[in-house]
Every structure is written in C-alpha cells, then in structure tokens.
A = this chain, B = another copy of it.
Amino acid sequence: MNIRQFKQRVKKCRHSLAVRQTVAFNDVDMMGVVWFGNYYRYFELARAAFCQKLQLDFEHVQKAGYELPVVRSECNYRNPARYNDVIEIEIYLVPPDRPMVIFMYAVRDLGERLLAFGTTEHVVCLNREPLISWDNAVRQWLPEELFDGI
C-alpha cells in the first residue's frame, strides 16, 4: 500500500477517531527513534478507543462466540518520532465488502506531518470458524457502523 492508495481508501471511510499519545522512553530504540514494531502498539491504542466509541463490548461479543483476529498488519514509515513527542493516531473504519473488518491508521505529529500509515485486517469468526457472509446474528452483536453501506 503506497501513500496514494492509502489516501484513496481513507477518503471513503465515514467513521474515524484520533487519539493522542506521548512517545515513551522505552518506545525509542538506540538510534533515538521509535522502534518500528511499536507503531502497532499505537494502532492498538487507537482501535481500543474506537471500539469503545462504537460501544463494542468486547466481553459481550466474546461470550456470543465472536472473535476478530488480525489476519494481516502493515505499516509504512515516513518520518521518525522521538522521545516525548506528542503524536496523534487516527483510525479509520474501511467500509466492508466481505465479512472482514479493516482499519486504516495514520500517525502524525502535532504539526500534521505524517509519520506512518498502515492497516490491520480482521476476519470475523463465530465459534472459531471464519464467517462466509454477514448474517443477521452477527449484526445483532457488532455495531451498526461496521456494516455501513452494506
């Protein structure tokens, strides 16, 4: 996914949320910049906040037998972040075309400079089996926003 593809996909997203985080001392490597793998922790923070906004009750969903395991993750790095930098992680919910939930993420500094962008792709599983189609049952448990446009 290059930056053009990212921007095109994000344009179609109707739901997003931005969270702020200060870069921790232990997020930074011996080169003085955030270690590349830690961006996935930033993605996770944004996703948790987004799921709360959607009132996606994790335990509720889990008890109903649903899971949303990550099947692919990707991050592209444009500019480094450093210790004590305040960063903003924006998460976008991509309109689904299959029983998958796809999030896109942009990490920016407070001057709106893009530091990184990426994605996590999640399949919807019921009792450990991936769903073939969105059915009515899953629509009872997952927030309406996930089915936006279906």
Residue among B24, B58, B74 making CB contact with A72, cutoff 8 Å? B74
Shortest A68–chain B CB gap in Å is: 10
Query: Is there an interface contact between B36 and A25, defined as CB atoms closer than 8 Å?
Result: no
Residue among B30, B74, B77 making CB contact with A25, cutoff 8 Å? B30
Query: Is there an interface contact between B83 and A30, defined as CB atoms closer than 8 Å?
Result: yes
Per DSSP, chain A at the interface is mixed
Q: Total interface residues on A, using CB and 8 Å?
A: 38
Query: Is there an interface contact between A69 and B77, defined as CB atoms closer than 8 Å?
Result: yes
Shortest A110–chain B CB gap in Å is: 15
Query: Is there an interface contact between A75 and B72, defined as CB atoms closer than 8 Å?
Result: yes
| A80-B123 Cα distance, complex, nearest whole Å | 14
Query: Is there an interface contact between B25 and A35, defined as CB atoms closer than 8 Å?
Result: yes
| A32-B69 Cα distance, complex, nearest whole Å | 12
Shortest A148–chain B CB gap in Å is: 24
Q: What are 25 A-B pairs at a CB distance below 8 A?
A: A22-B45, A22-B48, A24-B41, A24-B45, A25-B29, A25-B44, A25-B48, A26-B35, A26-B44, A28-B29, A30-B30, A33-B69, A37-B37, A37-B41, A37-B73, A40-B40, A52-B84, A58-B83, A69-B80, A71-B77, A72-B74, A72-B75, A72-B76, A73-B75, A73-B77
